[in-house]
C-alpha cells in the first residue's frame, strides 16, 4: 500500500508540474462539450433562429406553388429566396452557395386541378351520379418538382427535405381532391361535407418523473456522450506518460526495485481516475451553470448525481485500462499519441456518440456491442434519459470494470513477457 501511495503521489507531482498539460486536460473537454452542444442544439429545437437559405424557382405562379411557398416559410426552417431561372438556381446550388433549390414546374396548379377533376369525374360517373361523355379522356402528364442539392449536403438533410416536401405535396393533392368532390356534390362551397383533418394522429409518450413529462433536450443527449468522449481521451496523456517513463529510463530503475508493475500502474490509475472525475465534475458544472447562461437548456442532474458518479468512475477505469495497455505496448510517443487519439474516435463512432447505434449496419451494431464507449453511453443514457436505477446500469458498469481488469492484466503480462525475453 505504501508503494502504491508513493506511486500515486509521484504521478500527482508529475501532473501538477505540467501546467500546460493540465490546462489541456481540463479545458479542452469543456470547449468540446460547449461547442458540440451549441452546434447540435438546433437539431433538438422545433423553432430555431438559424434558418437555412434555399432557392425557389416558381414557374407555376398558381395556388399550389403558393401553398408550397407558404408551407416552406411557415416551417421556420428555411429562408426562401425566389429566383427566376432554373439554370441560375442550379449553378448557385452546385457551387455550394445554397444547400437546396426547388424548381416548381409550369402549370402545376392547373395540371393538378385538371388531374383531380378528371379522377373525381371518373369516380362520380362510376357511381352513376353524372352522365358519362363518350369522349376519350385527355392524358394529363404528371408534374415534376425538381430538387437540386449542394453535393456537400449530408444525406440526413436531403432525406428530411425530401420527406417534408413529399408530405406537403401529398397534403395539397388530398385537399384538391376534397375540394373537387365538394364542387361536384354541392353548390355551396361553405357546406362542410368532409372532415379534412387527419384521422390518424401521433402522440409521443415521454418518460415521466414525479408525474411530470420529461422532455430530453440537446444537453441531456450531448453532455453524457461528449463527457464520455473526453473521459476516454485520458488514454492519450496516460499512454504518453508511460512511454515517457520508458524513454527517461525511470522504468528501468523501477524494474530493478522490489516493486510490482501492478503497483506502478495502480498509482497511475488512482491519479488519472481523479483526473477523469474532475473532468466529469467540470462538465456537469458547465451543463448546470454555463449552458443556461449562453442560451442552452440546463443540464438536469437532480437526484441522479450518485449514479452519474458511479458511471463516470467505471467509464474512467475502462479508459485508464486502455491507456495503461497502450502505454505498455507502445515504444514511442509517436506511436501512442496518434494511435490513442484515433482509437478514441473509432470507439466513439462505434459506441454511438455520433450516429445512434440502431441506424448502423448490422455488422457495425455487433461491433458496437464490444465498444466500452457504448457501454458507458448506455449507462449514462439510462441515468440521464431513462431514469434508470443502479440495477439498470449494473450490466454496463460490470462490463466496463471487466474491461479495465482485462486491459490492465494484459498490460502486466505483456510487460513481464517483454522484459524477461
Partner 1 sequence: MINIEHISKKYKNADNYSLSDLNLLIHEKEIFGLLGPNGAGKTTLISILCSLIKPTSGSFSIDGLTYQKNKNQLKQLIGIVPQEYALYPSLTAFENLKYFGSMYGLKGKSLDEKINKSLEHLGLLSFSNKKIDTFSGGMKRRVNLIASILHNPKVLFLDEPTVGVDVQSKNVIIEFLQELNKNGTTIIYTSHHLNEAETFCTRVAIIDHGKLIIKGKPKELIETSKGSHNLEDVFISITGKALRDHA
| d(C-alpha 176, C-alpha 199), whole Å | 18
The crossing angle, in degrees rounded to 10, of helices 19-44 and 261-285 is 50
CB of 388 to partner 1, least distance (A): 43
CB of 247 to partner 1, least distance (A): 9
The residues, ordered by sequence, that sit 6+ positions from 200 with a Cβ below 8 Å of its Cβ are none
| d(C-alpha 71, C-alpha 56), whole Å | 13
CB of 2 to partner 1, least distance (A): 6
Compute the 3-state secondary structure of the chain and give helix, strand, coil in percent, each to the nearest 5. Answer: 65, 5, 30
Among 170, 250, 332, 409, binds partner 1 (CB under 8 A): 250
CB of 18 to partner 1, least distance (A): 7
Print the binding letters for residues 204-243 with partner 1: x by CB under 8 A, - otherwise. ----------------------------------------
CB under 8 A: which stretch of 7-15, 148-156, 330-338, 389-397 binds partner 1?
7-15
Closer CB to partner 1, 17 or 362, in the complex: 17
CB of 210 to partner 1, least distance (A): 51
Closer CB to partner 1, 189 or 249, in the complex: 249
Structural contact between residues 77 and 48, judged by C-beta atoms closer than 8 angstroms: yes
> Site size for partner 1, by CB under 8 A?
24
| d(C-alpha 238, C-alpha 279), whole Å | 15
| d(C-alpha 138, C-alpha 109), whole Å | 17
Closest C-alpha to 103, from 148, 159, 161, 160 = 148
CB under 8 A: which stretch of 12-20, 223-231, 336-344, 348-356 binds partner 1?
12-20
Among 136, 151, 189, 249, binds partner 1 (CB under 8 A): 249
Which residues between 356 and 415 bind partner 1 (CB under 8 A)?
none
- Cell readout for 98 is 445554397
CB under 8 A: which stretch of 9-17, 34-42, 46-54, 296-304 binds partner 1?
9-17
CB of 275 to partner 1, least distance (A): 17
Print the binding letters for residues 253-292 with partner 1: x by CB under 8 A, - otherwise. xxxxxxx---------------------------------
CB under 8 A: which stretch of 6-14, 134-142, 180-188, 356-364 binds partner 1?
6-14
Strands 212-213 and 208-209: what pairing? antiparallel
| d(C-alpha 82, C-alpha 192), whole Å | 36
| d(C-alpha 274, C-alpha 238), whole Å | 13
Counting contacts by CB under 8 A, is residue 420 touching partner 1? yes
Closer CB to partner 1, 10 or 158, in the complex: 10
| d(C-alpha 228, C-alpha 181), whole Å | 58
Closer CB to partner 1, 30 or 259, in the complex: 259
- DSSP designation for 290: I
CB of 322 to partner 1, least distance (A): 24
Counting contacts by CB under 8 A, is residue 421 touching partner 1? yes
CB under 8 A: which stretch of 2-10, 151-159, 328-336, 358-366 binds partner 1?
2-10
The neighbour count for residue 227, using CB atoms within 10 Å, is: 28
- DSSP designation for 286: I
Q: Which residues pair with 104 in a beta bridge?
A: 58
- Cell readout for 360 is 448502423
CB of 19 to partner 1, least distance (A): 11
- DSSP designation for 389: -
Structural contact between residues 223 and 299, judged by C-beta atoms closer than 8 angstroms: yes
Structural contact between residues 42 and 89, judged by C-beta atoms closer than 8 angstroms: no
Counting contacts by CB under 8 A, is residue 10 touching partner 1? yes
Determine the Cα angle at 116 with ends 112 and 118, to 5°: 115
Counting contacts by CB under 8 A, is residue 23 touching partner 1? no
| d(C-alpha 238, C-alpha 276), whole Å | 11
CB of 45 to partner 1, least distance (A): 47
Closer CB to partner 1, 17 or 203, in the complex: 17
Counting contacts by CB under 8 A, is residue 252 touching partner 1? yes
Closer CB to partner 1, 265 or 284, in the complex: 265
Q: Which residues pair with 369 in a beta bridge?
A: none
CB under 8 A: which stretch of 8-16, 28-36, 201-209, 333-341 binds partner 1?
8-16
Which residues contact partner 1 (rule: CB under 8 A)? 2-3, 6-7, 9-10, 13-14, 17-18, 248-250, 252-259, 419-421
Amino acid at each position: 500500500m505504501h508503494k502504491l501511495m508513493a506511486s500515486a503521489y509521484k504521478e500527482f507531482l508529475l501532473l501538477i508540474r505540467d501546467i500546460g498539460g493540465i490546462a489541456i486536460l481540463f479545458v479542452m473537454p469543456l470547449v468540446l462539450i460547449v461547442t458540440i452542444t451549441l452546434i447540435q442544439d438546433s437539431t433538438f429545437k422545433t423553432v430555431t433562429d438559424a434558418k437555412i437559405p434555399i432557392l425557389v424557382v416558381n414557374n407555376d405562379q398558381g395556388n399550389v406553388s403558393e401553398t408550397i411557398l407558404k408551407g416552406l416559410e411557415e416551417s421556420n426552417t428555411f429562408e426562401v429566396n425566389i429566383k427566376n431561372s432554373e439554370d441560375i438556381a442550379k449553378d448557385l446550388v452546385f457551387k455550394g452557395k445554397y444547400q437546396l433549390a426547388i424548381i416548381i414546374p409550369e402549370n402545376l396548379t392547373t395540371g393538378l386541378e385538371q388531374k383531380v377533376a378528371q379522377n373525381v369525374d371518373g369516380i362520380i360517373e362510376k357511381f352513376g351520379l353524372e352522365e358519362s361523355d363518350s369522349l376519350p379522356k385527355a392524358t394529363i402528364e404528371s408534374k415534376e418538382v425538381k430538387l437540386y442539392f449542394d453535393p456537400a449536403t449530408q444525406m440526413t438533410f436531403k432525406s428530411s427535405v425530401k420527406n417534408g416536401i413529399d408530405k406537403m405535396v401529398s397534403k395539397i393533392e388530398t385537399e384538391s381532391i376534397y375540394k373537387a368532390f365538394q364542387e361536384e356534390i354541392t353548390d355551396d362551397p361553405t357546406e362542410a361535407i368532409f372532415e379534412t383533418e387527419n384521422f390518424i394522429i401521433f402522440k409521443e409518450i415521454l418518460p415521466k418523473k414525479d408525474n411530470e413529462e420529461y422532455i430530453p433536450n440537446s444537453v441531456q443527449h450531448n453532455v453524457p456522450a461528449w463527457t464520455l468522449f473526453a473521459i476516454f481521451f485520458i488514454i492519450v496523456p496516460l499512454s504518453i506518460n508511460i512511454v515517457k517513463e520508458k524513454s527517461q529510463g525511470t522504468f528501468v530503475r523501477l524494474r530493478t526495485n522490489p516493486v510490482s508493475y501492478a503497483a506502478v500502474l495502480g498509482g497511475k490509475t488512482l491519479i488519472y481516475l481523479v483526473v477523469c472525475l474532475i473532468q466529469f465534475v467540470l462538465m456537469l458544472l458547465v451543463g448546470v451553470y454555463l449552458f443556461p447562461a449562453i442560451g442552452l437548456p440546463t443540464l438536469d442532474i437532480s437526484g441522479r448525481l450518485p449514479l452519474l458518479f458511479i458511471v463516470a468512475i467505471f467509464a474512467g477505469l475502462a479508459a485508464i485500462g486502455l491507456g495503461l495497455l497502450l502505454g505498455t505496448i507502445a515504444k514511442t510517443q509517436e506511436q501512442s499519441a496518434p494511435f490513442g487519439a484515433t482509437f478514441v474516435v473509432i470507439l466513439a463512432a462505434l459506441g454511438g456518440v455520433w450516429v445512434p447505434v440502431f441506424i448502423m449496419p448490422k455488422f457495425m451494431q455487433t461491433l458496437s456491442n464490444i465498444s466500452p464507449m457504448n457501454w458507458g453511453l448506455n449507462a449514462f443514457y439510462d441515468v440521464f434519459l431513462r431514469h434508470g436505477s443502479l440495477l439498470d446500469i449494473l450490466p454496463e458498469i460490470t462490463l466496463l470494470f471487466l474491461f479495465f481488469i482485462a486491459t490492465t492484466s494484459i498490460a502486466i503480462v505483456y510487460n513481464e513477457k517483454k522484459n524477461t525475453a
